[in-house]
Amino acid sequence: MERGYKALHLAFTKEGEPYLQSGTHTWVSGENISDFPEKGREEFEKSSHGFYAKKTLGGLISDRYYQQYGPITVELIPYGTVVHGSEGYRSKKARLSGIFYDKGLACYVCGKGEAKWMISPEGAEPIAVCESCLKLIKKAVSPVKSLGEKEWEEILQKLSKKYKVPLIHMPSLKPAFGDTRVTKAQIKAGFKYN
């Protein structure tokens, strides 16, 4: 069975419940169907509709597009009509099969140290920051909601339950901001299902 990898936006309902989104599509548990009208394979192949995913996790992480998204990385199963590219897939249907988490994130701002906080400036998506940058950001930007490791883990658990998929530990595969190098050793480190 083919698997793909995608970075998704983390969003929250008015009630504060987390959910995943890519572009205009809000992901659901189970089958996700592209907005492409019911037409044949040939028409789908000619269009730009569908769910895009990289073939490898390393390919996703080394892609500049990945750094525009996050902090959620998912594993998905592309199916239905699937168009194969050299680096990834575009499919008419997709199902989430896992959510990656990483306790070893580098700070998004300075690229150093271990980020222990997720911050969410008003109207912006959460980013990982270290203690030093958190203090500077809180002085410069208001309001900033900061989430410690415990709160971040609670969000991941809620997403895992909502989408009925396991959390997958990703051992330090995410590069520091601006650094897109991922070693083969890091990719071969393996993944442990939580």
Quick count: other Cβ atoms within 10 Å of Cβ 29? 12
Say whether pTM exceeds 0.85: no
Ramachandran angles phi, psi of 163, nearest 5° = -95, 0
pLDDT digits (tens, 9 = 90+) for 133-179: 888 877 777 666 677 778 878 888 999 999 999 988 765 544 433 34
Q: Which has the closest alpha carbon to 128: 60, 171, 176?
A: 176
pLDDT for 12: 81
